[in-house]
């Protein structure tokens, strides 16, 4: 049926303007709609924190594994996690979106709904964006946060010997979810593993965890996006320290063991090099802040090694955008 107002129209049928209106309807903000968005500051001395991450179809998500709303949520979470990892509060997001012209408008609406729901959880807004024709779905989100008060931001290079290593959030769940999707596809995964699939398709980072950490004395922080060992090593190298993780504190959950048994996999691989959980990992001289647990210790000055119970980890790779030849 090629009527003037199709029931399930494509972007080519409705055009750019209508697509923008739909996005703004699902993720509204009074700051949206001009050449650029103007953000107010909460406090006179607050600083602005910015970060960007890009999700490419079939590399960071698959349309047969994730709903459009989940993809939107994932895009926000992984960007806002970077802002939280500085100890800042996410306040705004920008969305640049490339989609094929034959894409259903409904896809864009659902993507925007997921984005809108997730930004609202943070008390943030989608304040602007761009939409353009392209061969694949490419989602680029920029997160803007605010860092108030006079405490320093949580940098990678501020781990100090003697500190606790603390973490907030699950480790390995996203990788387990991915492994299940790879084996079974979305619709044939045993129901008990739904939380792992959810972790992969629309990971959550509780709003305010970074702010709490900064207020409670955490000095360095990152989020587990590329793998626990890789991301922890990032702190270790930048701070010139050695970090020792406690195997008891990061051991796979029962659900991970169950999934591993089903898939004949080693759940430690998911824990150590899985990534995409966006677990916040920090170091502090004080006690673990609310919502955090101790998972290790900063040992001594070094070139930046990460050990587990004093030994070299069994798995220490992680996500990298391009395969390396060496």
Q: Which of residues 213-232 bind a second copy (CB under 8 A)?
A: 221-223
159 binds a second copy (CB under 8 A): no
Contacting range for a second copy; rule: CB under 8 A; set: 44-52, 62-70, 162-170, 243-251: 44-52
Count Cβ atoms within 10 A of the Cβ of residue 102 and give its class: 0-12 exposed, 13-18 middle, 19 or more buried: exposed
Cα–Cα dist 99/108, whole Å? 9
255 binds a second copy (CB under 8 A): no
Contact pick of 25, 136, 194, 287 for a second copy (by CB under 8 A): 136
How large is the angle between the packed helices 173-184 and 194-202, nearest 10 degrees? 100
How large is the angle between the packed helices 68-84 and 105-121, nearest 10 degrees? 30
192 binds a second copy (CB under 8 A): no
203 binds a second copy (CB under 8 A): no
54 binds a second copy (CB under 8 A): yes
Interface with a second copy: number of residues (CB under 8 A): 75
| Sign of the CA dihedral running 33, 36, 39, 44 | negative
Contacting range for a second copy; rule: CB under 8 A; set: 30-38, 199-207, 269-277, 304-312: 30-38
From the CB of 200, what's the least distance to a second copy, in Å? Answer: 17
Return the residues of window 62-101 that contact a second copy according to CB under 8 A: 81-83, 85-86, 88, 92, 94-98, 101
Tokens of 239: 């701070």
Contact pick of 156, 251, 255, 258 for a second copy (by CB under 8 A): 156
Q: Which is nearer to a second copy, 34 or 303 (CB)?
A: 34
DSSP letters, 201-214, are HH----TTHHHHHH
Q: Which is nearer to a second copy, 89 or 256 (CB)?
A: 89
Within 13 A of 100's CA, how many CA atoms are on the CB side? 7
Nearest Cα residue to 287 out of 206, 208, 212: 212
From the CB of 229, what's the least distance to a second copy, in Å? Answer: 15
Q: Which is nearer to a second copy, 134 or 208 (CB)?
A: 134
3-state secondary structure labels for all residues of 261-287: HHHCCCHHHHHHHCCCCCCEEEEECCC
Phi, psi angle pair for 95, to nearest 5°: -120, 120
Is 65 annotated in a binding site? The answer is no
> What residue numbers does the annotated binding site for ATP cover?
129-130, 225
> What residue numbers does the annotated binding site for substrate cover?
60, 276, 319
> What residue numbers does the annotated binding site cover?
35, 51-53, 60, 82, 129-130, 223, 225-226, 276, 319
């Amino acid at each position: 049926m090629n009527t003037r107002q199709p029931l399930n129209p494509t972007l080519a049928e409705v055009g750019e303007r209508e697509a923008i209106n739909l996005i703004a309807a699902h993720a509204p903000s009074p700051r949206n709609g001009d050449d650029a968005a103007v953000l107010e500051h909460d406090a006179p001395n607050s600083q602005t924190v910015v970060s960007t991450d890009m999700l490419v179809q079939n590399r960071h998500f698959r349309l047969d594994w994730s709903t459009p709303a989940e993809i939107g949520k994932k895009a926000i979470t992984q960007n806002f996690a970077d802002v939280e990892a500085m100890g800042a509060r996410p306040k705004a997001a920008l969305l640049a979106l490339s989609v094929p012209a034959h894409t259903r408008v409904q896809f864009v609406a659902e993507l925007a709904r997921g984005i809108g729901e997730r930004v609202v959880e943070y008390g943030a807004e989608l304040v602007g964006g761009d939409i353009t024709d392209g061969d694949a779905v490419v989602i680029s989100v920029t997160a803007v946060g605010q860092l108030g008060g006079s405490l320093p931001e949580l940098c990678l290079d501020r781990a100090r010997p003697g500190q606790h290593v603390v973490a907030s959030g699950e480790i390995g769940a996203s990788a387990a979810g991915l492994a299940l999707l790879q084996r079974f596809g979305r619709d044939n995964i045993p129901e008990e593993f739904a939380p792992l699939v959810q972790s992969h398709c629309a990971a959550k980072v509780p709003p305010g965890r970074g702010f709490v950490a900064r207020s409670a004395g955490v000095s360095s922080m990152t989020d587990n996006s590329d793998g626990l060992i890789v991301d922890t090593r990032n702190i270790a190298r930048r701070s010139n320290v050695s970090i020792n993780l406690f195997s008891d504190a990061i051991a796979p959950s029962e659900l991970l063991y169950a999934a591993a048994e089903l898939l004949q996999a080693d759940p430690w691989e998911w824990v150590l090099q899985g990534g995409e959980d966006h677990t916040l990992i920090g170091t502090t001289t004080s006690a673990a802040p609310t919502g955090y647990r101790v998972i290790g210790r900063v040992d001594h000055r070094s070139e930046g090694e990460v050990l587990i119970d004093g030994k070299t980890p069994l798995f220490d790779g992680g996500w990298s955008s391009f395969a390396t030849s060496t």
